[in-house]
Chain A
Amino acid sequence: MNSALLVNIFRFIMLLAIQVVIFNNMNFLGYISPFPYLLYIILYPVNSNKSGLIISSFLLGLMMDMFCNSGGIHATACVILAYYRPYIFKFSFGLSYEYQTIKLNESLTPERFSFILVSVVLHHIVLFVLEAFEFRFIWDILLRTLFSSIFTIITSIIIIYLIKPSKR
């Protein structure tokens, strides 16, 4: 058992618990709730096992669906985000991202912010399209995506800097 795996399992359980207990009950204006549980996918180590990420994201989404009674929308959104994460890395950090040591939980540079932004928007668009499932709700989908993304990004950044390991 290496420590990275343990950290990931701990993150999985903690983020899911926080999401279910606190953030699922936040309904700003009746329909806007943040989804910081996808920090698990964002913070997953860059060069670790990719199929592990896809499977664990699927399980994470399935757990969320179980708690939200939402069929399979969280699972779909999580799997898509997990699969396209390397492409988002490439987009945000440039082609040679695999050779850099990317640590997301350090000071917020434009690259890191753009990575979080693209990931969150991708996840939310898939989520809300599948949730509404009908074309006549297109404005509703866009509005929900916009507002929920803003709240998710704010809460995610706050969580990242709250759990940041202290520097010596």
Chain B
Amino acid sequence: MQQIFNFIIKNSNRLLFLLLLGISLALTIQSHSYHKSRVISSANFLSGGVYEKINNVNEYLNLRTENDELVLENARLKSILFNLKDSTKAPAMDSLKGVKPADIIVSKVIRNEYSTHENYLTLNSGTKEGVKTDMGVINSLGIVGIIDNTSPNYSTVISILNMKSQINAKIKKSNHFGSLTWNGKSTGFVQLIDVPRLASIRKGDTIVTGGQSVIFPEGINIGTVDKIYIQEKTSFYVIDVKLFNDMTNLGHVYIIKSKDRDEVINLEKKEKEDE
């Protein structure tokens, strides 16, 4: 017993080092594993508050581009409004509840990150506004990411510029599906993988979100086809998609609250239990 205590006292620094190294390595590995939220995240009052303060200052520097984007979006919405030929063709409402399947929360990016392989954004709305994990985040130009961690006032987003993210997407005109990933190289391009060879794709085609997941509604813009090549091993297409969004410059974003989500998830869970 005496010897054990002596050993511990003698090697206290080394043991302390190994303990802390173990904890931090466990946190690192946990954060790299797919589909697990990180324990340490910036969705908390301290870092969220600091980033909000910094963002308040930075916002003034980006007012002009933010305004330009709003004007463009306004123009687009107006053109839709004025060109609507027939009032009977108005977007179909859910007749049972009288609401659209997707509800929207307006939020603001208070920290943007794009220099590493696994990028996260921090938003200034959290569970108080109804934000939950796995909600989709978009802005006027296209998709941004998926909600990861939430706290009462802040939430973090897995950016589409994150090698862990995988989003269901399709080619707008032909309905061929693939998954959207990022290879970690350029902030302007993401990759659409696992597209079947049957699909006819040309440079400049538009890629939109597919309706297969409940996170994003169908048909939200992502980008245009820039380069097409064939993966050697699986002989599926890999497509370089040029994003509509400038991910290095994000201001206001919309969080999509899907009303159907809980229902679909419950149904799928039941299906799995039955098997």
Query: Does residue A130 face the partner (Cβ distance < 8 Å to B)?
Result: yes
Query: Does residue A31 face the partner (Cβ distance < 8 Å to B)?
Result: yes
Q: How far is the CA of A48 from the CA of B123 in the complex (A)?
A: 41
Selected contact of B50 from candidates A27, A67, A68, CB within 8 Å = A67
Selected contact of B13 from candidates A33, A54, A62, A69, CB within 8 Å = A54
CB pair B31 A79 closer than 8 Å: no
Q: How far is the CA of A54 from the CA of B122 in the complex (A)?
A: 30
Q: How far is the CA of A83 from the CA of B15 in the complex (A)?
A: 11
CB pair A69 B16 closer than 8 Å: no
Query: Does residue A106 face the partner (Cβ distance < 8 Å to B)?
Result: no
Query: Does residue A71 face the partner (Cβ distance < 8 Å to B)?
Result: yes
Given A30-B115, A33-B115, A62-B40, A72:B13 Cβ within 8 A: no
17 additional A-B residue pairs with CB within 8 Å, beyond A31-B115, A69-B38? A20-B47, A21-B50, A27-B115, A30-B187, A50-B13, A51-B13, A55-B20, A67-B51, A71-B28, A72-B23, A72-B24, A72-B25, A73-B24, A75-B23, A76-B28, A83-B21, A133-B32
B249 shortest CB reach to chain A, Å: 12
Offer 12 A-B interface pairs, CB within 8 angstroms, sorted by A.
Answer: A27-B114, A51-B12, A68-B42, A68-B113, A69-B41, A70-B31, A71-B27, A71-B30, A71-B38, A76-B28, A83-B17, A131-B117
Q: Which residue of B lies closest to A131 (CB)?
A: B116
* Interface residue tally on A, bucketed by range: 35 or more
Query: Does residue B106 face the partner (Cβ distance < 8 Å to A)?
Result: no
Query: Does residue A132 face the partner (Cβ distance < 8 Å to B)?
Result: yes
Selected contact of B117 from candidates A20, A83, A137, CB within 8 Å = A137
A interface residues (Cβ-Cβ under 8 A, vs B)? 20-21, 27, 30-33, 50-51, 54-55, 58, 61-62, 65-73, 75-76, 79-80, 82-83, 130-133, 137, 140
Given A69-B156, A71-B28, A71-B40, A76:B12 Cβ within 8 A: no
**Contact residues in A for B182 (Cβ distance below 8 Å):** none
A153 shortest CB reach to chain B, Å: 19
Q: How far is the CA of A76 from the CA of B27 in the complex (A)?
A: 9
Enumerate the 8 nearest inter-chain pairs by beta-carbon distance, A residue then B residue, closest first: A71-B31, A72-B27, A75-B24, A69-B120, A72-B28, A76-B24, A72-B24, A83-B17
**Contact residues in B for A30 (Cβ distance below 8 Å):** 114-115, 187
CB pair B116 A76 closer than 8 Å: no
**Contact residues in B for A31 (Cβ distance below 8 Å):** 115-116
Q: Mark B3-17, 1 if CB is under 8 A from A, else 0.
A: 000000000111011
Q: How far is the CA of A79 from the CA of B118 in the complex (A)?
A: 22
CB pair B16 A65 closer than 8 Å: no
CB pair B42 A67 closer than 8 Å: yes
Query: Looking at A32, A65, A80, A140, which has the most chain B CB atoms within 10 Å of its CB?
Result: A65
Selected contact of A58 from candidates B24, B32, B38, B116, CB within 8 Å = B24
Q: How far is the CA of A111 from the CA of B122 in the complex (A)?
A: 42
Q: How far is the CA of A20 from the CA of B50 in the complex (A)?
A: 9
**Contact residues in A for B13 (Cβ distance below 8 Å):** 50-51, 54, 83
A21 shortest CB reach to chain B, Å: 6
B180 shortest CB reach to chain A, Å: 19
